[in-house]
Amino acid sequence: MLFPAPAASQEEGGAYTALHNPANDYFEAIEHIEAEHGPYAMALSDLYLGLGQSLLNSGDFEKARDAFHRGVLVVRVNAGPNSPEQTNHLFLLANLETMLGDMEMADEVLHNIRFINSEYYDDDNPELLPVLERIYQWYLVARPPGSHLSRLEDYERMIDLAQQMEQVSETAYGASHPETALAYRRLGDAEFQMVRHLTGMGFTLSPERYVIMMTDNVTPLGLGAQPVVDHYDDARKAYKRYLDALAANASTTPLEYAEALADLGDWYMVFEKIRKSSKLYEQAYQVLAQSPDFAELAEQWMSQPKPMHFATENLSGYQDQDGAEMQQQASRLNISMTVTHYGKVLNIEVLQPPENLSKDALVLIKNQLRGTPFRPAMRQGEVVTTRDFIWQYELMPPWGTS
């Protein structure tokens, strides 16, 4: 057998049933198609894709890699070297190389995906957008910004992808189209993550150490500060384009425009430009308050603090010491805190923590919250500090013992 396994398992009544190996079904189907239509029949492409996934699930990575490569070869023989039909095979190859720890090879595969689709669709074709978005999301998931898995090159690739999506959207749809507006916001997020990486301080970006804020300008301080300034400015401009795109689109609702104003306010807030961000929050409130359809929503909209949209991955839940994600159902911790009018989290207290929640876990959770910028709450159109705010933190068991 290709995958050795116990020969039989006992069920009630003493009957024995051989364990089924799904990969064998694919091997048999492939053998049948090859005998009938030859080794490059197009039908083999999907079979190799399924075989590779089955082998990947069973832990046979080398044979899975071979299956994906064979599927790619079948597509190229039948549909040409730049056929997008090989995209799914290549994404799974990138996943496999990542599992094996070969980040450079995974990057090479992703570059190949981008090249193949660009050659097939042309650089300005909107048909290219889904695969660019898929590569961008791949980096977000496989190498989350701010984690030990992400490198400078990953942030650079995400910015490059976001820039191309912005360019394609502008060319195909125009600057005020909703898809283009989202592209602007995505680029702003990517630039922000680069700033966060360059400072090496998570979300705590000290202006005294890196930059001095003076009106709308930034003056660099210290070694390597200029790249921080450049990416900061690029992000600010991208968020501004996002805001302008929504304003120019007649279908934009007051709520969508208010959210865009608040997003720009978040950007200024995280860099401690409190006055500028507060004005944007208040402007967003007025957009809703002055709208006949959304006036009743104005008081509720920012009535409670919440993490800024580019910071949510920082609150993904405690993980074990090996860093592996927990598969069990998450439980929730109630955490009391103060969120100041300038977005800082203070006075953190975990309410009735589980007895087997370790001290290390408590420290990690509190550090995550301290390092996460929150959008402050508003009362009657003014930004305020919220005390005794209860935040529900998702906890992924098992969480360690004291």
CA-CA distance, 72 to 85, in Å (whole number)? 8
Sign of CA dihedral 218, 219, 223, 227: positive
- For the ranges 146-160, 294-308, 315-329, 352-366, the lowest mean pLDDT is seen at 315-329
Amino acid 371: pLDDT: 82
**Chain mean position to CA 140:** 4
Q: How confident is the model at residue 331 (pLDDT cuts 50, 70, 90)?
A: confident
Instruction: List pLDDT tens digits, range 310-327.
Output: 765 545 444 333 333 333
Instruction: List pLDDT tens digits, range 119-163.
Output: 999 888 999 999 999 999 999 999 988 888 899 999 999 999 999
Strand pairing partners for 220? 211
CA-CA distance, 113 to 96, in Å (whole number)? 15
Of 317, 294, 293, residue with least CA distance to 395: 317
Strand pairing partners for 386? 339
Amino acid 19: pLDDT: 61
Q: Which residue has the higher pLDDT, 209 or 361?
A: 361
**Chain mean position to CA 342:** 25
- DSSP letter string over 72-97? HHHHHHHH-TT-GGGHHHHHHHHHHH
> In the predicted model, is pLDDT for residue 269 greater than 60?
yes
Neighbours of 221 (CB within 10 A): 14
CA-CA distance, 89 to 72, in Å (whole number)? 6
Domains of the chain in start order, with CATH, are: 1-121 (1.25.40.10), 309-395 (3.30.1150)
